[in-house]
């Protein structure tokens, strides 16, 4: 029950007129109900209490109690009563938390609510587990709110992290109901994985849709419970003051019923690619009082979760469909199968260098640098370069016809050759996503290059870095830099390569993954310190000659000539590389 300003909702009146009537979407018996066919205290197996004062986050005046003078059952009804005694207000706030908790369904409350300026009545829902954090992050569903100074109007509202009254972005509407405080009406919500609709009697006057973004917009995939209460005053209920002549206010409830909704077509959520013998989970949307019969290929071992909406399995050694049959008292539905493939069966993507005699690569032109491309053999590409300004970052680029999802085929394999005296001073391959970003925390540097004049294979797995925003699922191009940046050198040379392949990261073994290495000081004069102890450390000069081999994290470079050097070290995860400058 949150603070809302009525003026916000006046703008929504036109919208409510466009919403049609809807019948209760129920089937079979209610899955939970209380029809108050007993006397005394509310059934303790179904109802608990929130007790205490302190304003409840809205500057409210009442103290909630579990006393019989504030809540009781008689004559087939539940009574909630706010009472003013010696200038102080007490009331009741009944909750079904841990006694009635639901994910999806129709929750219907037949009630008559009190009038009076300063009286704030509510029938609403809160998350039981607050899985996404404190209010409003985990959501709130206001089925019915009524403030006494606006006596003929009923409000229905949704609050989330993105949509709430503290930001002025809450979502809701209202409807006129002049007999709300003189007659009983059915206040209901129908809630599934796609929509939350709010009703008075059979009139739907507001629907909130799942935008399929994040929990900030839709935290309503977790269980919620029901609250019934009368508040006094508060930031919204008391916005026009409190009638000093009022000493009591009573809400009467004839029944509370919770129904299954007739389920929509089930959807299976889970991985589309798995490794042999990998432990994985599959999930279907939760529906109250439903059973789930899962079906897998024969060699899949079920760990737990059969008959529930979440199942854990150990996948076998064949690809195949995941199926689930959802059965409720209403209906039996089959989900569309989710076809799961073994990563070992993924087809590599080959990047052809030529279409006929026309190259598929383009030169990224830079001033004072000259690059030409020529065909060698059937489909090999030779890159001839004359670089005068390395800091202009000379490069060539292959642009896909449409963006490629490389989340599985993320191992790039290139067979490349060059020769001593003509080799690039440095070379790097990037994947560029649809936003123009590359994975800067996981660079594929081909250093040192094999300059024997023979083809050498280089491999690298992309998508393992932590570069913010890099989208491995939408790759638009491959870019190759050479003699680039502050560590590049001017010069003339060539390199050539066969068609690049993008393969499955699991089945591509013996790949080269290069991680960043930190060293200081840089430039160095005498002693160079590495960021950790390494099993093996090799240093090459700018001509590819090996200048040092050792281990540890401290290297004496005082006898090195001035210049740029490459450090290549072997550590726990693979190869670590960086460059440093030696100065006297």
Q: Name the β-bridge partners of 550.
A: 537
Note the pLDDT tens digit of each residue in 232-246.
Answer: 999 999 999 999 999
Cα(527)–Cα(555) distance, integer angstroms: 6
Equal fold, 268-343 vs 517-582: yes
Residue 238 CB neighbours (<10 A) = 22
Q: Which of 60, 108, 140, 447 is catalytic?
A: 140
Q: Which two tokens stand for residue 209?
A: 């849709």
Neighbouring CB atoms inside 10 A of 455's CB total 15
First to last CA, the chain: 72
CATH superfamily of 268-343: Immunoglobulins (2.60.40.10)
**Using CB atoms within 10 A of its CB, is residue 277 exposed (0-12), middle (13-18) or buried (19+)?**
exposed
Phi/psi for 400 (5° steps) reads -70, 150
Q: Which of 60, 108, 145, 217 is catalytic?
A: 145
pLDDT in tens, 348-359: 899 999 988 899
Q: What angle do CA 457, 424, 554 make, to 5 degrees?
A: 85
- What's residue 13's pLDDT? 35
Enumerate long-range contacts of 10-13, CB under 8 Å, 24 or more apart: 12/172, 12/173, 12/174, 12/206, 13/174
Q: For the chain, what are the domain ranges?
A: 6-259, 268-343, 349-513, 517-582
Average pLDDT, the chain: 88
Cβ neighbours of 216 (radius 10 Å): 14
Write the DSSP assignment of 13-64 as a string of letters.
HHHHHT--B------SS-SEEE---S-BS--TTT-EE--B-S-TTTTB--EE
Q: What is the pLDDT of residue 15?
A: 35
Residues of the chain with pLDDT below 50 are 3-24, 28, 509-512
211-to-9, 152, 216 alpha-carbon distances in Å: 21, 32, 10
Q: ∠ at Cα 382 (376, 383), nearest 5°?
A: 165
Domain 6-259: CATH class, spelled out: mainly beta
Report whether CATH 1.20.200.10 matches the domain 517-582: no
**Any alpha helices (H) in 429-582, and if so which ranges?**
none
Cα distances from 144 to residues 126, 156, 196, 342, in angstroms, run 13, 5, 13, 50
DSSP secondary-structure letter at 478? E
pLDDT of residue 19: 37
The percentage of the chain sitting over the pLDDT mark of 70, rounded to a whole number, equals: 90
CATH 2.60.120.430 is the classification of domain 349-513: yes
Assess whether 140 carries a catalytic annotation.
Answer: yes
Rg (CA), the chain: 34
pTM for the full model? Answer: 0.48
């Amino acid at each position: 029950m949150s603070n809302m300003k009525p003026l916000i909702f006046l703008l929504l009146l036109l919208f409510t007129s466009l919403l049609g009537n809807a019948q209760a979407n129920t089937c079979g018996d209610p899955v939970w109900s209380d029809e108050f066919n007993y006397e005394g205290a509310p059934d303790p197996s179904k109802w608990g209490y929130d007790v205490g004062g302190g304003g409840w986050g809205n500057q409210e005046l009442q103290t909630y109690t579990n006393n019989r003078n504030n809540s009781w059952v008689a004559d087939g009804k539940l009574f909630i009563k706010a009472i003013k005694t010696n200038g102080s207000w007490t009331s009741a706030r009944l909750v079904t938390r841990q006694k009635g908790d639901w994910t999806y369904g129709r929750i219907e409350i037949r009630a008559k609510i009190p009038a009076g300026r300063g009286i704030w009545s509510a029938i609403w829902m809160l998350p039981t587990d607050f899985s996404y954090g404190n209010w409003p992050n985990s959501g709130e569903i206001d089925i019915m709110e009524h403030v006494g100074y606006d006596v003929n109007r009923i409000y229905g509202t949704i609050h989330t992290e993105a949509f709430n009254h503290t930001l002025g972005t809450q979502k809701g509407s209202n409807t006129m109901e002049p007999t709300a405080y003189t007659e009983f009406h059915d206040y209901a919500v129908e809630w599934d994985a796609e929509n939350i609709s709010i009703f008075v009697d059979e009139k739907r006057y507001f629907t909130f849709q799942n935008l399929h973004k994040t929990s900030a917009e839709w935290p309503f995939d977790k269980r919620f419970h029901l609250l019934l209460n009368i508040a006094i005053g508060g930031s919204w209920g008391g916005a026009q003051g409190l009638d000093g002549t009022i000493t009591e206010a009573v809400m009467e409830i004839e029944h509370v019923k919770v129904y299954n909704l007739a389920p929509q077509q089930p959807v299976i959520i889970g991985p589309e690619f798995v490794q042999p013998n990998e432990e994985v989970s599959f999930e279907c949307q939760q529906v109250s009082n439903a059973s789930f019969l899962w079906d897998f290929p024969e060699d899949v071992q079920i760990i737990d979760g059969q008959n529930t909406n979440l199942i854990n399995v150990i996948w076998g050694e064949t690809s195949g469909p995941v199926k689930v049959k959802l059965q409720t008292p209403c209906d039996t539905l089959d989900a569309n199968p989710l076809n799961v493939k073994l990563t070992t069966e993924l087809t590599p993507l080959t990047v052809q260098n030529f279409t006929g005699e026309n190259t598929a690569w383009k030169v990224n032109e830079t001033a004072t640098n000259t690059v030409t491309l020529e065909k060698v053999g059937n489909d090999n590409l030779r890159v001839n370069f004359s670089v005068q300004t390395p800091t202009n970052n000379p490069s060539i680029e292959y642009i896909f016809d449409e963006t490629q999802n490389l989340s599985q085929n993320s191992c790039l394999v290139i067979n490349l050759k060059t020769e001593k005296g003509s080799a690039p001073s440095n070379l790097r391959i990037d994947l560029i996503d649809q936003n123009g970003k590359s994975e800067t925390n996981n660079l594929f540097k081909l250093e040192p290059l094999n300059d024997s004049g023979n083809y050498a294979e280089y491999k690298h797995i992309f998508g393992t870095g932590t570069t913010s925003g890099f989208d491995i699922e939408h790759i638009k191009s491959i870019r190759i830099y050479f003699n680039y940046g502050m560590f590049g050198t001017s010069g003339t040379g060539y390199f050539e390569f066969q068609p690049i392949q993008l393969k499955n990261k699991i089945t591509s073994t013996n790949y080269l993954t290069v991680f960043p290495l930190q060293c200081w000081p840089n430039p160095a004069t005498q002693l160079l310190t590495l960021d950790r102890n390494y099993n093996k450390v090799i240093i090459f000069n700018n001509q590819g000659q090996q200048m040092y081999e050792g281990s540890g994290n401290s290297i004496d470079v005082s006898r090195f000539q001035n210049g740029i050097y490459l450090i290549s070290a072997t550590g726990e995860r693979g190869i670590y590389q960086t460059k440093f400058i030696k100065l006297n």
